[in-house]
Structures are given as structure tokens and as C-alpha cells.
Structure 1
Amino acid sequence: MRNGNLFVISGPSGAGKGTLVAQLMQRVPDAWLSVSATTRDPRDGEVDGVHYHFLTNERFEELIAQDGFLEWACYSGSYYGTPREPAVRHMEQGVQVILEIDVQGAFQVREKLPEAHLVFIEPPSMEELERRLRGRGTESEESIQKRLRAAELELSRKMEYDIQLVNDKLDVAADYLVAFVNQQAETDRG
């Protein structure tokens, strides 16, 4: 059996985290993607337990008080967080637990589980990041500018991560990420 691990994948919006995580999930059979909890209302098509665990404010606050989250934050009046119990249970079963969360959350996880592996996904350049964000065609100019400012802050913390991975060529970046996860899973901790 392989060793269970926790991998935190962070990086700016538009860096390609979701695409790389999808590749990782296809290529690492014992990987499990953690589902975040939130107090916001479900959007059309979102399924409880698949897209998010939708909780009441009261239940979320109970879990905060019980140290039931690896990380949590409040955005726009709604709570978001990573439930601790399923992540720890999967790790104990030898599973590679994947969290796709922001930089702030990554360092909360590191405080609670110092053995977590932090992986920072970065774009090849700020110009490429802007091109990707504009290419989505889903964001206002104000939103794009806000995401670019946030990206600069996130990039300033990348060296605090265990590895930094430039997502320039998707297949190369995915190969590197898969190899890193498999290497950690095979490392003898005895």
C-alpha cells in the first residue's frame, strides 16, 4: 500500500490549476479530490456533496469550534472551508488527498498538517495570465484587473511552497505533477 498524503494545489486564477488537477485525478488511481463546504446557496446544477457540501451558518460555525476544518475563510458573507475528517480518513487509508485551494488556505493547512505538500501552479508570465483570463470571455474588465492584482500577491508567496510548477505546456506540467505525487506516495516514512 502506498503512503497517504495531502497535496495542496494553489495558484492564481487562470494558471490552469483545475485542468492540471483533472489530469492528476485521471492519472493517479489512488487520488481523491476533497470537496469543500460552503454556506452559500447552491447555484443551478450544483449537487450537494459533489460540487460543495452545502451547510447552514450554524453547522459551519459548530465545525469551526470543533476544529473540523483544515482551513476556512469568509468571502462575500459566506463561509468556505475544507472538512478535516474525510481528508484525514482518506490519508490514513493510503490515499493521495488533493485540495485545490487559495494561498491563504494553503498556509492554514500547513499549520494544522505540517506534512502537507504544497504545490504552487504559476502561469508562464503575467501577460499569458491576462490573455487566459480575457480568453474565458466570462469576466468584466474590473474582475480581470482584480484577479491580476490578486495574482501578483499570490505569486509573491510562491517560494513558500514545496514546489513551484510553471504551467506553460500542459502535458509537461501534468507529467511533473503526477510524478511528484507518485514520488511522495512511494517514499518510505518508516
Structure 2
Amino acid sequence: MSALSKTNKKRALAGLSLLCASVALNACVTQPPSFGGGIDFRQARFNEISAMREYRDCRDHALELDREAQTKHDPAKYLASARMIEKCESKLGPDVADVATDERMRAYALTIQNHLKGGNIEGARENLDKFSTSFQGQDLYFADGSSFIQTMEVLLGKRGAGSIGRYSDANVNAELKSELRRVRYWERN
């Protein structure tokens, strides 16, 4: 009997050891690490890239309309190009508002010029206001160093008409200032 009880004791001890080892191993198992932050970042980045890809495709189509307008001197195509870029910009949404700012500024500036070339002065004024609001504190500069915003303000009549030095403090091309002063002189005389 004692041999049987030794075997039973060994089995019981082995079973108890196995049970303790099992409990100890289960206690040591940790939860897998959470990659939520990394995946969220990647998803957000993917969304930005996709949105910009769609924006660029849309913008490229609008630029093609602009080239056609220049070639054919067609005011309707200038307006169509401007509206298409506006549509491209509106599709972006606020989560992509800080992506490719300089590229988007140049495209939106084109809407202002194209509205002006197409004869829609009010549309050009509205877009200039939107441009100043959307890209607050930023400006584009022409090759001669003149300010895009100030040039458009002068051309669209957004600078005070009654001021004596109406164009003197504006960072506008000298030839444009001279021409506008000449026109103003002949309007009065």
C-alpha cells in the first residue's frame, strides 16, 4: 500500500505542480501592446495623402482650363477654371487645411485672377477676402517683389479711393501704379 500511496502522492504532487505552473503562467500573460496611436496616425496620414491626391487631380484639370482660356482668350473658361479650383478647395475639409499650404495658396490666387479676367469683379473680391481669411498673415509675391494681396486690392478697388497716397504705400508694381494714376488723372480731367 505504501507503494501505491507513494505513486498517488507523486501523481498528486505532479498534478499540483502542473496546476501551480499553469496558474503562474496565466498570471504572467500580459495584454498585447496597443498600437492604436500608430494606426490612427497612419490612417490620418493616409487620409491626408488621399485628399491631396484628389485635390491635385482636380486642380490640374482646372489649370488645363486656365491654359485653354489663355490660348483662346475665353472669359468663360477663366470663370470655369476659377469655379473648379474653388470646388477643389471646398472638398478638402478642415482636417487637411494645413497640408500643402503654399501650393493651395497659389491655386486659390489663380481663382481671384481668373474671376477678374472673366469679368466677375465681385467674385474676385469675395475670393480675395476668403484668401486673406484662409491664409491669414500669408501672401504671395510676384517676380518683381510686389505683393499679390495688395496688387489685387488696388485692382479690385478695395483700397481707399479718397486717400491722397492711395498707391504710394502699397507694395504694387511701379508700372501698375503709374498706369492707375494715369487713368485716375484722365478720369478727373
TM-score range, shorter chain: under 0.3
Higher helix share goes to which structure? 2
Could you state the TM-score of these two structures normalised by the residue count of structure 2?
A: 0.25
Could you state the TM-score of these two structures normalised by the residue count of structure 1?
A: 0.25
Which of the two has higher C-alpha Rg?
2
Greater relative contact order (Cα < 8 A, sep 6+): 1
